[in-house]
């Protein structure tokens, strides 16, 4: 529902920003009222500026990403509790679903190597094991 609402807000913003320039080009093709055309183009540029603001206001993930970038923080891939539960499942023999990048980032922090723990998805073509 949040994504639908955000998409609707972005669509309406796009419509409000691009409608004046479209109408001014259709109704005033010979530029009798240049102020109307200038206002339309200003609104077109404003559309490009307002989209990131809409994303930040309406999405918690975008707010977190902007804070990470603006304050030069290291991005958090997982919360501590989710990582501990995945590591405990991994130790018990039940492997949780982890992506390669999360595995690499976790191993670089802990000092291990990611290649030792990952399965061989693309075997070496020179190795003719059947």
Split into its structural domains, the chain has a count of 1
7 within some domain? yes
103 within some domain? no
114 within some domain? no
Give the domain range for residue 5.
1-71
pLDDT digits (tens, 9 = 90+) for 36-85: 999 999 999 999 899 889 988 998 888 888 888 888 888 776 555 544 44
116 within some domain? no
How confident is the model over 6-29, as a mean pLDDT?
93
19 within some domain? yes
d(CA 40, CA 69): 32
98 within some domain? no
Q: What angle, rounded to 10 degrees, do the helices at 60-70 and 34-58 form?
A: 90
77 within some domain? no
3-state SS, the chain, equals CHHHHHHHHHHHHHHHHHHHHHHHHHHCCCCCCHHHHHHHHHHHHHHHHHHHHHHHHHCHHHHHHHHHHHCCCCCCCCCHHHHHHHHHHHHCCCCCCCCHHHHHHHHHHHCCCHHHHCCCCCCCCCCCCC
d(CA 26, CA 36): 12
pLDDT digits (tens, 9 = 90+) for 87-127: 444 454 444 444 545 454 555 455 555 445 555 566 666 66
85 within some domain? no
pLDDT, position 14: 94
């Amino acid at each position: 529902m949040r994504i639908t609402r955000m998409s609707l807000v972005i669509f309406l913003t796009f419509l409000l920003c691009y409608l004046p320039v479209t109408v001014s080009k259709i109704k005033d093709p010979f530029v009798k009222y240049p102020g109307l055309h200038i206002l339309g183009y200003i609104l077109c540029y404003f559309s490009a500026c307002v989209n990131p603001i809409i994303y930040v206001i309406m999405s918690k993930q975008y707010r977190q990403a902007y804070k990470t970038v603006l304050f030069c923080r290291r991005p958090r891939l997982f919360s501590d509790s989710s990582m501990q539960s995945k590591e405990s499942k991994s130790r018990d023999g039940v492997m949780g679903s982890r992506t390669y990048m999360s595995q690499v980032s976790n191993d670089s922090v802990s000092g291990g190597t990611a290649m030792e723990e990952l399965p061989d998805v693309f075997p070496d073509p020179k190795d003719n094991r059947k």
